């Protein structure tokens, strides 16, 4: 069964989300507070995707996201927010979220986002990828979806893993932001190109020796990014 955690303190919104996810074939775990959500995740370790409202009483969605990432980097996280300010979107992504959806959203938009993220967290890589991609100092294991740098494990979120895999499969190739968005978030993605830039920033913090002077994920000005020089 495909399990999704829904953290939303407003019962009518939570019911709307749950009903539509159930119609799409998901089993939902409901929580109204951040504390309850973290406890529910410990009781349901097979949850693949979490939907987190940002505005919550007590512990907010940003803090829940940080704590989930400290527990398990393989869970896909989508932030739910009624805010439209750019900083809220960036903050959510920098705390470890893979995506965000701004309220009000349609059932089709929400399920499409969950479907795409669930596919990434489920390890559906197709039948043509090798088990490992080596590009020293990196070793990417596509079977268990892990990255090592100089033999040390680097924890990646689902979005970060998918982007890095795309780069390492295309060394030296300039990839446009639109191409990265299509490959990582899916062609039916409703969001903005900025999500690519924020995730690149987060990925650089994890893999670059000096994130401000990247050697591995390089910017192609006015176009996108490429792996290597």
Q: What is the DSSP string of 106-128?
A: -HHHHHHHHHHHHHHHTT---SS
Is the pTM of the predicted complex or chain greater than 0.85? no
Q: Please report the pLDDT score of residue 27 as a whole number.
A: 94
Q: 3-class SS at 135?
A: strand
Q: Please report the pLDDT score of residue 122 as a whole number.
A: 62
**Residue bearing tokens 């805010």:** 83
Q: Please report the pLDDT score of residue 128 as a whole number.
A: 46
- With CA atoms as reference, report the closest residue to 69 among 206, 216, 218, 179: 206
- Cα 227 from chain centroid? 20
- With CA atoms as reference, report the closest residue to 189 among 78, 82, 90: 78
H/E stretch holding 71: helix 61-71
Q: Please report the pLDDT score of residue 84 as a whole number.
A: 66
Mean pLDDT by 10 residues, the chain (229 residues): 92 94 94 96 93 92 94 87 73 88 87 86 52 92 91 92 95 95 83 89 96 96 92
Tell me what percent of the chain is helix, strand and coil, each rounded to the nearest 5.
40, 25, 35
Q: Please report the pLDDT score of residue 127 as a whole number.
A: 43
H/E stretch holding 36: helix 34-43
């Amino acid at each position: 069964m495909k399990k999704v955690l829904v953290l939303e303190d407003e019962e009518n919104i939570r019911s709307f989300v749950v009903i539509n996810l159930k119609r799409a074939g998901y089993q939902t775990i409901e929580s109204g507070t951040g504390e309850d959500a973290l406890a529910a995740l410990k009781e349901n370790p097979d949850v693949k995707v979490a939907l987190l409202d940002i505005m919550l009483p007590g512990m907010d969605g940003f803090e829940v996201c940080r704590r989930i990432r400290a527990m398990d980097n393989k869970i896909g996280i989508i932030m739910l927010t009624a805010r439209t300010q750019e900083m809220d979107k960036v903050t959510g992504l920098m705390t470890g979220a893979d995506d965000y959806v701004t309220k009000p959203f349609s059932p089709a938009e929400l399920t499409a986002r969950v479907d795409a993220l669930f596919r990434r967290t489920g390890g559906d890589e197709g039948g043509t990828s090798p088990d490992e991609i080596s590009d020293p100092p990196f070793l990417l294991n596509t079977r268990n979806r892990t990255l090592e740098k100089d033999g040390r494990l680097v924890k990646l979120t689902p979005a970060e893993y998918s982007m890095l895999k795309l780069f390492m499969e295309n060394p030296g190739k300039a990839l446009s932001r639109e191409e990265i968005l299509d490959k990582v978030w899916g062609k039916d993605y409703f969001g903005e190109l900025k999500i690519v830039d924020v995730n690149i920033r987060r990925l650089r913090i994890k893999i670059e020796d000096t994130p401000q002077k990247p050697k591995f994920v390089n910017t192609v000005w006015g176009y996108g990014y490429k792996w290597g020089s």
